[in-house]
Chains A and B, each alone.
Chain A
Amino acid sequence: MSTAISASGADKSATETSAQYLTFMLAGEEYGVDILRVQEIKGWDKVTRIPHTPDYVLGVINLRGAVVPILDLRRRFGLEAIDFGPTTVVIVMRVGSGRDERTVGVVVDAVSEVYNVEAADTKPPPDVCGSIDTVFVKALATLEEKMLILLDIDRLIANSITDEPVPGVAAA
């Protein structure tokens, strides 16, 4: 299977102190995910709905023969839903590892940049963090006076799919 970016979960080969992040926009905020997780970025397309799932599970798509679920991050974080526009994209990622490894797409408002983030530029998230469940935030990074929200994507996706309650977090 050809992939745009080969994303191998275990590979943390970027140097100890810095890592590359792909960032995307969601309701005016900029979020980052570990670029090694990202498999490809594709346009929004029709999905097949799955019954008995939360509203942020939009459905499944056919990704070159694999059935891949698509999650709406806006709805996942309890943000106001908007109509999908021309910049709306699906970021397809490989998350988890071993038996729990999954390919999952998330819908975001737009992709932004790829940044090299130094460990020194990151801060742990404060207890209260605006519109997002802080347990899914790995760190906050400051870059050119901008704040990036670095997501713990493994945890976010696993939690979104299994629907397990996360201690200390009210339902989104």
Chain B
Amino acid sequence: MTLDLEMAEIAKVFFQESREGLDVMESGLLTLGAGADAESINTIFRAAHSIKGGSATFGFAEVAGFTHGVETLLDEMRNGVRPVTAEAIQILLQSCDCLREMIAATEAELPLDQGRIASLNSDIAHILGERPQAAPAPVAPAAAPPAAPPDATAEAGGTPSSGAQGWLITFEPVADLLRLRNEPTRMFTELARLGAVVARADTSRVPLLDALDPESCYLSWNLEVSGPISRAKIEEIFDWVESQWRAEPMSVEKSSAVAQPHLGPAPEARPVSAERGPAPAAPTAQKAADSGSIRVATEKLDNIINLVGELLITQSMLCGFADGIDPNELDRLRQGLSQLARNTRELQESVMQIRMLPISFAFNRFPRIVHDLSRKLNKKVELKLTGENTELDKTVLEKISDPLVHLVRNALDHGLETPDRRSASGKHETGSIELGAFHEGGNIIIEVRDDGAGLNKAKILQKARERGLVAPDQDLTDEQIDNLIFMPGFSTADQVSDVSGRGVGMDVVRRNINDLGGHVQISSKEGQGSTIRIRLPLTLAILDGQLVRVGKEIYIISLLAIVETIQVSKDRLNTLVGRTEVFRLRDEYLPVVRLCDQFGVEPDSRRAEDGLLVVIEADGKRAGVLVDDLLAQQQVVIKSLESNFKPVVAIAGATILGDGTVALIIDVPDLIRSVRKLGSGAVTAHAA
């Protein structure tokens, strides 16, 4: 039973790695379009090969079988036997999709889409079949090209000719061999089952004891295995250490074949591995880069983050305590505490860093999306990505992906014109879409910029009036008109396509971004394109907060949402119909929220002029919040109220203050929404 569990665990890793492999293949294939170089084909091939090997190991025969076809095609491309055509790339891309689905289905133990697999298989077979003699041997992907003369075939790939007495194998593993869970002794045992083995280890690279890393492999071997053994059998054993070994048949003719491998008309697997064998630099470098990161469950990280948050709380509690006691030792205590404060802050920052991922994780899918979509829409597009290394919180990253896809699809479908329309208006045929990310203050800014037609303001305004979103006589600034596209149910597309135009997008995009504590804005110039700007907080886990007091309760308002804080003068506070109070701030009337009434707390005083008015803003809307007093500003660790309770109106979460008590964090957009809903109809006529 434990074995089953272990297998399931390992299989999980395989699924995960296969997905990553597919991502690698996909991005590699997309760059192939531009110009094929051997190394990028090699990268794709390696990814496919690992998936095949892995799936075969776990007994997912269908996945392995399908990948085999893909691999064969890639192998021929890699060897230069087959040109890299757009058609082939398209089929390989589709195969990636198909494989992704197969893997998902296998993981979920669902039936596979046999029809699709079969049709792609026949597509691949069709391509492979175009050159009649290129039919690959079904078992060994590294089978010989039949174009080679018969004797070369025998040596290069298939079973050794009858004269062959065995194989001479040079095995030069990378230092990471053992860490990659390969066990040379087991491989040698397997080898010994095929025939008598004479092994000679080369120990020349073993360093002195103090420099020796016990987990590294410093040895290489020369193995002679005798007997009539097929190359495929040996390949099977050395499957996981591809490119770290060479095998030469130990026959009389071997020397000539090895010495002049290029004599064969079609250089094939063995020359390739021979070429890579002595210099396994590329894969090693790649592995070194990989080992720079480890997979950690998010849950574990969250645990650490919670603990560090608590440490911060304890520290501020101690600091508060130190202020209270007097005498002589105080200085030393203070010193120690300030050091603790510095250390905890640094610790917290570096722990928070762990959750940060480069935005390339979200950006990486766009080359493919744009590639597919531009084909479908017959538009020419160049996609530019900038700032891919900008880091943001994993949760934010996950939640921003879908809205971004939506925005990019929109830009392609609605924004960019067709090539002839573009050249007619004097623009370059190829449109451009830019996706960029950068830091600004405590925020991340993501921009989606296109050089398309821009928003048609007249049309938007007309549609908005038709739908009653804007009153007929209402005047709007250009910016206000542009941002109407974020209203629910709004679409200016004349035709609803399956790409976009149903009007169920932009409001959802805005909603998602607002839920992340972010903000989205669009600006556009007719004929020149549009820019959508998303502002997001760096992280959802901590917040720069202003502590405010109402009666005995303390609440926290995000500093980013506070515009200013003012003393209330009675004559500028008026009541609108019913109970709604408004405050005249310069040339603007702000709805006023009395936090005491909103939250049912007994305030110090009911007279507004005794308190302070905190002006808050979200989504471009403002409100004044009446509180009794402002307290400190501090970074607070956001704790969920939902995990043990449920969401509460106008409350975004909770935090723990220095004295160990819980304080609630105010959800500014929600608070403004709720007060505006209750508030005057005139102010919010168009913001249903």
Whether A60 contacts B645 in the complex (CB less than 8 A), given A48-B662, A50-B651, A65-B307, comes out as yes
Q: What bracket does the count of chain A residues touching chain B fall in?
A: 20 to 34
A103 at the interface (CB under 8 A from B): yes
A52, B597: Cα distance in complex, Å: 11
Whether A161 contacts B664 in the complex (CB less than 8 A), given A51-B651, A65-B307, comes out as no
Quote the shortest CB–CB distance from B673 to chain A (angstroms): 14
Against A, the Cβ 8 Å flags (1 = close, 0 = not) of B648-687 are 1111001010001111100000000000000000000000
Residues 573-601 of B at the A interface (beta carbon under 8 Å) = 598-601
A32 at the interface (CB under 8 A from B): no
Is A51 a contact partner of B644 (Cβ separation < 8 A)? no
A146 at the interface (CB under 8 A from B): no
B622 at the interface (CB under 8 A from A): no
Quote the shortest CB–CB distance from A58 to chain B (angstroms): 12
Taking CB atoms, residues of chain A closer than 8 Å to B660 are 62
Residue of B598, B600, B648, B656 near A62 (CB, 8 A) is B656
Taking CB atoms, residues of chain A closer than 8 Å to B651 are 50-51
A67, B306: Cα distance in complex, Å: 12
Is A46 a contact partner of B661 (Cβ separation < 8 A)? yes
Residue of A49, A50, A51 near B645 (CB, 8 A) is A50
A102 at the interface (CB under 8 A from B): yes
Is B599 a contact partner of A51 (Cβ separation < 8 A)? yes
Taking CB atoms, residues of chain A closer than 8 Å to B661 are 46, 48, 62
Is B639 a contact partner of A66 (Cβ separation < 8 A)? yes
Residues 53-75 of A at the B interface (beta carbon under 8 Å) = 53, 59-62, 64-69
Whether A62 contacts B644 in the complex (CB less than 8 A), given A49-B601, A50-B651, A51-B598, comes out as no
A139 at the interface (CB under 8 A from B): no
Residue of B306, B553, B600, B643 near A102 (CB, 8 A) is B643
Taking CB atoms, residues of chain A closer than 8 Å to B306 are 65
Is A50 a contact partner of B648 (Cβ separation < 8 A)? yes
Against B, the Cβ 8 Å flags (1 = close, 0 = not) of A24-65 are 000000000000000000000011111111000001111011
Whether A49 contacts B648 in the complex (CB less than 8 A), given A60-B654, A62-B662, comes out as no
Residue of B553, B644, B662, B664 near A104 (CB, 8 A) is B644
Quote the shortest CB–CB distance from B71 to chain A (angstroms): 41
B641 at the interface (CB under 8 A from A): yes
A117, B630: Cα distance in complex, Å: 55
Taking CB atoms, residues of chain A closer than 8 Å to B85 are none
Whether A67 contacts B310 in the complex (CB less than 8 A), given A48-B553, A161-B645, comes out as no
Quote the shortest CB–CB distance from B660 to chain A (angstroms): 5
Whether A48 contacts B664 in the complex (CB less than 8 A), given A60-B654, A62-B656, A67-B640, comes out as yes
Across the two chains, which residue of chain B brings its CB closest to A49?
Answer: B553
A13 at the interface (CB under 8 A from B): no
B205 at the interface (CB under 8 A from A): no
A59, B646: Cα distance in complex, Å: 12
Is B654 a contact partner of A67 (Cβ separation < 8 A)? yes
Against B, the Cβ 8 Å flags (1 = close, 0 = not) of A103-126 are 110000000000000000000000
Taking CB atoms, residues of chain B closer than 8 Å to A47 are 662
Q: Which of B599, B601, B646, B650 has the most CB of A within 10 A?
A: B646
Taking CB atoms, residues of chain B closer than 8 Å to A64 are 310
A162, B639: Cα distance in complex, Å: 19
Identify whether the interface residues of B are mostly helix, strand, loop, or mixed. mixed
Is B645 a contact partner of A65 (Cβ separation < 8 A)? no
Residues 128-155 of A at the B interface (beta carbon under 8 Å) = none
Is A60 a contact partner of B662 (Cβ separation < 8 A)? yes
A68, B661: Cα distance in complex, Å: 11
Is A65 a contact partner of B553 (Cβ separation < 8 A)? no
A50, B663: Cα distance in complex, Å: 10
A73, B435: Cα distance in complex, Å: 55
B309 at the interface (CB under 8 A from A): yes
Taking CB atoms, residues of chain B closer than 8 Å to A103 are 644
A41, B310: Cα distance in complex, Å: 22
A144, B313: Cα distance in complex, Å: 49
Across the two chains, which residue of chain A brings its CB closest to B654?
Answer: A67
Taking CB atoms, residues of chain B closer than 8 Å to A60 are 641, 645, 654, 662
Whether A68 contacts B644 in the complex (CB less than 8 A), given A46-B661, A50-B651, A62-B656, comes out as yes
A50, B652: Cα distance in complex, Å: 12
Is B650 a contact partner of A51 (Cβ separation < 8 A)? yes
Taking CB atoms, residues of chain A closer than 8 Å to B307 are 65
Taking CB atoms, residues of chain A closer than 8 Å to B656 are 62, 65, 67
Residue of A53, A67, A102, A162 near B662 (CB, 8 A) is A67
A46, B554: Cα distance in complex, Å: 13
Is A65 a contact partner of B664 (Cβ separation < 8 A)? no
Taking CB atoms, residues of chain A closer than 8 Å to B601 are 49, 51
A125, B312: Cα distance in complex, Å: 50
Residue of B598, B639, B645 near A69 (CB, 8 A) is B645
Residue of B313, B646, B650, B662 near A61 (CB, 8 A) is B662
A31, B79: Cα distance in complex, Å: 78
Taking CB atoms, residues of chain A closer than 8 Å to B600 are 49, 51
Residues of B bordering A, CB below 8 Å: 306-307, 309-310, 313, 553, 598-601, 639-641, 643-646, 648-651, 654, 656, 660-664
A-B contact list, 21 entries, CB within 8 Å: A47-B662, A48-B663, A50-B641, A51-B598, A51-B601, A51-B650, A51-B651, A52-B648, A53-B648, A60-B641, A60-B645, A64-B310, A65-B307, A65-B639, A66-B639, A66-B643, A66-B644, A67-B640, A68-B644, A102-B643, A162-B646
Interface pairs A-B: 6 shortest CB-CB? A51-B599, A48-B662, A65-B310, A69-B645, A67-B654, A102-B644
16 A-B pairs besides A49-B599, A51-B664, A66-B644 with CB distance below 8 A are: A48-B662, A50-B651, A51-B599, A51-B601, A51-B650, A53-B648, A60-B641, A60-B645, A60-B662, A62-B660, A65-B656, A67-B639, A69-B644, A102-B643, A103-B644, A104-B644
